[in-house]
Copies of this chain bind each other. A is one copy, B any other.
Amino acid sequence: MFLTVNSSVSTKDRILGAAEVLFAQRGFDGASLRQLTSAAGVNLAAVNYHFGSKDKLVEEVFRRRLDALNATRLVELDKIAGAEKTTLEDVLGAYIRPALDLSHDGSGSLFMRVLARAFAEHDDTLRQFLSANYGHVMRQFTAEFARLLPQLSKPELYWRIDLVTGALTHAMSGFGMIQRKNDVSEHTHREQTAQHLIRFSVAGLSHP
């Protein structure tokens, strides 16, 4: 009745870990269950037993990471939302840094590739999933941006936030020209990325 704890990590978590890596490397279609279960060191049938289907596994991979990410974002936003001295930099930081921190632990950076890939897949199912589960986060951030940028019309604000999101996604997917040099620590590189993203976004959001 209880989960076995003989192994250091449960079969379910081993699958989720391997899935994140392989989905990032080869895509959702490209990574087969046989590669996946082989990498995880579990039986082929384990995926369907524990998750029901490959599609459900994909959803779980997203849910596990995005729940944590957006929860952190909201905590950070709540600390500053509505305050007198809150700046654009603060709000952008609450939006950007949790995402960049996700790429601190090893497999987290792979997840950002998974996410970027999912965006490109342009699948309406995923779009609805993201909107239904995390739309309220985006809405709260948008409201705070609107408060700090009262001179912008609604459509104008939406446009600019959209372009910030694009820059964000691109930078986090790691496809760009900028790659971390060997003589720069992971932590330093992440902080530089955050700084560039925030300054760039402040300029793009608040220009006349």
Which A residues have a C-beta under 8 Å from some C-beta of B? Answer: 24, 27, 29-30, 113, 116-117, 119-122, 127, 158-171, 173-178, 196-197, 199-204, 206-207
Taking a contact as CB atoms closer than 8 A, the residue among B120, B168, B177, B202 that contacts A120 in the complex is B120
Main secondary structure of the interface of A (DSSP, over half): helix
Q: Is the CB of A177 within 8 A of B200?
A: no
Which residues in B have their C-beta under 8 angstroms from that of A201?
204
Q: Is the CB of B120 within 8 A of A200?
A: no
Taking a contact as CB atoms closer than 8 A, the residue among B164, B166, B206 that contacts A169 in the complex is B166
Q: How far is the CB of A184 from chain B (nearest CB, A)?
A: 11
- Known A162-B176, A196-B163, A199-B207: A117·B122 in contact at CB below 8 Å: yes
- Known A167-B163, A169-B166: A178·B203 in contact at CB below 8 Å: no
From A166, A175, A176, residue with most partner B Cβ within 10 Å: A166
